[in-house]
């Protein structure tokens, strides 16, 4: 006979969003159950952000060693030991795994159940034949899965996805990457710096969701490092020959062949909704994910969806954790916090990094807002010049009164520098705030003060300002 549980909150999915939701609910002292069919930590820990960051850390050191002559430091014969890099990546995952372990969650008051969750009806979930859960509220945090494009010949041989690439124990000699979004460009630069020949292919524009000016700076750096970037391609056919792969592509009506030792699919991801029994729970969904309202509630009032599985929402770890807090507050207290699109930043961890918070110029134009663009290049920044990292800029979008609508930074440490701007946008702050704050110097963050000065500079030459200054001079 199946065990019946009646928690206040049942979270389905043990990735970064699910873990955040479960621990937040348990912190309020309510009975909480978390169901995970695979490994706790999800994509973020096991196949996404953490291993990618570890790979890029090694790649940065290799690149820095090769370029050290510019600083008067001679490092001859840089060698990459990929076995050590592979071990270090998985050591990082292992060190972080206890943060979301069954034992730690139990200490918080969360019961973890391993298995496949499926809705039986509007308010009941089963896990196999052993457990039946009738919760007051459910939070769906099942994440996403890689999309494998339909290319003739692809399935006739091996290929990698973003979920399997970190299982590689040897460095690919010639790597073909399909997908020129954030994951594709990060992995392209990482493997290239470690010694692989890399070809990056995109069916559309590279980094299409980013500001075009910022994206072009990143792509120019990739090409300087020897990465072959081809965009707007059609994927015609894949041939697996012995230990190599050949991909036929079409660009501008002309076919050509790209050859490599390994093929990596980093094209896109799709919401993981398979097998959840959403129709039985009367939860509306489509290919874009589970439909939610501004409070992340689904068409079933007892169920919320967060992170990658929620339709129309940003797909990143920061969005999932942000959603978790909103969903739990709405579920437990019936409050009315709504998702704010501008609250979720995004970062592409290439070198230079590309970070964004709030609106892009394209989005501001589409919304028919009256806005002004402020820019400042990295080469005017003291820290950037001292460290020789002058490729990049900050681009700030403000309304006519100076309220900050969006910021895009491309350059060294952009992912760190964007943090202050996230707060400014979330609080609806004016660009004047960046003039009033005192920043340490020399830092990359000072680039923000430069654009604030540029916003107010025209006022200094206006006749009425000059008259006031003249009058005050007369008064002594």
Q: Is 185 annotated as contributing to ligand binding?
A: yes
377 contact partners, CB below 8 Å, separation of at least 6:
390, 392, 393
Q: For residues 176 and 261, what is the distance between their CA atoms, to the nearest angstrom?
A: 8
Q: Is 448 annotated as contributing to ligand binding?
A: no
Q: Is 358 annotated as contributing to ligand binding?
A: no
Q: How many residues are recorded in the chain?
A: 476
Q: For residues 102 and 125, what is the distance between their CA atoms, to the nearest angstrom?
A: 20
Token representation of residue 394:
């900050």
Q: Is 341 annotated as contributing to ligand binding?
A: no
- The separation between CA 39 and the C-alpha centre of its own chain, rounded to angstroms, equals 20
SS3 category, 410: strand
* 223 burial type by CB count under 10 A (0-12 exposed, 13-18 middle, 19+ buried): exposed
For residues 194 and 57, the answer to whether their CB atoms sit within 8 Å is no
Token representation of residue 321:
């954790």
121 contact partners, CB below 8 Å, separation of at least 6:
280, 281
Q: For residues 114 and 112, what is the distance between their CA atoms, to the nearest angstrom?
A: 7
How many helices and strands, by DSSP H and E, does the chain display?
Answer: 14, 26
Q: Is 186 annotated as contributing to ligand binding?
A: yes
For residues 178 and 266, the answer to whether their CB atoms sit within 8 Å is yes
**Cis geometry, peptide bond prior to residue 352 (ω within 30 degrees of 0):** yes
Q: Is 279 annotated as contributing to ligand binding?
A: no
> 144 forms bridges with which residues in the sheet?
271
Please name which of 39, 142, 143 lies closest in space to residue 94, comparing C-alpha atoms. Answer: 39
Q: Is 426 annotated as contributing to ligand binding?
A: no
Q: For residues 392 and 409, what is the distance between their CA atoms, to the nearest angstrom?
A: 7
Token representation of residue 392:
């990049």
By DSSP bridging, strand 174-178 and strand 160-161 are: unpaired
Q: For residues 453 and 431, what is the distance between their CA atoms, to the nearest angstrom?
A: 9
Q: Is 274 annotated as contributing to ligand binding?
A: no
Q: Is 132 annotated as contributing to ligand binding?
A: no
Max Cα–Cα distance, the chain, nearest Å:
93
Token representation of residue 416:
């760190």
- Residue 307 region, left (φ>0) first, then alpha (ψ -120 to 50), else beta? left
Q: Is 424 annotated as contributing to ligand binding?
A: no
Q: Is 267 annotated as contributing to ligand binding?
A: no
Q: Is 183 annotated as contributing to ligand binding?
A: yes
For residues 52 and 190, the answer to whether their CB atoms sit within 8 Å is yes
Q: For residues 126 and 140, what is the distance between their CA atoms, to the nearest angstrom?
A: 14
For residues 345 and 425, the answer to whether their CB atoms sit within 8 Å is no
Q: Which residue positions form the known binding site for FAD?
A: 142-144, 308
Q: Which residue positions form the known binding site for NAD(+)?
A: 179-186
Q: Which residue positions form the known binding site?
A: 142-144, 179-186, 308
């Amino acid at each position: 006979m199946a065990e019946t549980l009646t928690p206040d909150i049942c979270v389905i999915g043990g990735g970064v969003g699910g873990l955040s939701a479960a621990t937040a609910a348990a912190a309020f002292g309510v009975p909480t159950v978390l169901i995970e069919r695979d490994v706790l930590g999800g994509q973020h820990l096991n196949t996404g952000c953490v291993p990618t960051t570890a790979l890029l850390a090694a790649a940065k050191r290799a690149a820095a060693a090769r370029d050290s002559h510019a600083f008067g430091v001679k490092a001859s014969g840089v060698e990459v030991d990929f076995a050590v890099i592979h071990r270090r990546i998985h050591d990082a995952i292992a060190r972080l795994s206890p943060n979301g372990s069954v034992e730690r969650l139990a200490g918080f008051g969360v019961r973890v159940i391993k298995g496949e969750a499926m809705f039986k009806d509007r308010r009941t979930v089963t896990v196999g034949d052993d457990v039946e859960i009738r919760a007051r509220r459910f939070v769906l945090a099942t994440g996403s899965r890689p999309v494998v494009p339909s290319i003739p010949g692809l399935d006739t041989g091996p290929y990698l996805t973003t979920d399997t690439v970190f299982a590689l124990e040897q460095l690919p000699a010639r790597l073909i990457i399909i997908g020129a979004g954030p994951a594709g460009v990060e992995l392209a630069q990482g493997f290239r710096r470690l010694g692989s020949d890399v070809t990056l292919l995109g069916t559309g524009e590279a980094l299409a969701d980013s500001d075009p000016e910022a994206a072009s700076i990143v792509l120019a750096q990739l090409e300087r490092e020897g990465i072959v970037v081809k965009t707007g391609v059609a994927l015609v056919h894949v041939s697996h020959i012995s230990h190599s792969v050949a991909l036929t592509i079409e660009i501008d009506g002309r076919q050509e062949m790209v050859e490599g030792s390994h093929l990596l699919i980093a094209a896109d991801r799709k919401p993981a909704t398979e097998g959840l029994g959403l129709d039985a729970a009367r939860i509306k969904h489509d290919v874009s994910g589970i439909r939610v309202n501004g409070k992340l509630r689904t068409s079933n009032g007892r169920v919320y969806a967060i992170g990658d599985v929620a339709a129309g929402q940003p797909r990143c770890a920061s969005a999932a954790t942000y959603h978790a807090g909103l969903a739990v507050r709405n579920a437990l207290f019936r409050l009315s916090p709504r998702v704010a699109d501008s609250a979720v930043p995004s970062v592409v961890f290439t070198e230079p990094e590309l970070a964004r918070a709030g609106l892009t110029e394209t989005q501001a134009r589409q919304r028919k807002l009256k806005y002004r663009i402020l820019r400042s290049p990295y080469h005017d920044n003291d820290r950037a010049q001292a460290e020789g990292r002058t490729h990049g800029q900050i681009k700030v979008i403000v309304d006519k009164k100076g309220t900050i609508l969006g910021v895009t930074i491309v350059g060294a440490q952009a992912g760190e520098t964007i943090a202050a701007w996230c707060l400014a946008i979330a609080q609806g702050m004016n660009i004047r705030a960046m003039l009033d704050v005192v920043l340490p110097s020399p830092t990359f963050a000072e680039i923000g003060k430069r654009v604030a000065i540029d916003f107010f500079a025209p006022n200094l030459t206006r006749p009425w300002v000059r008259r006031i200054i003249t009058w005050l001079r007369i008064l002594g």
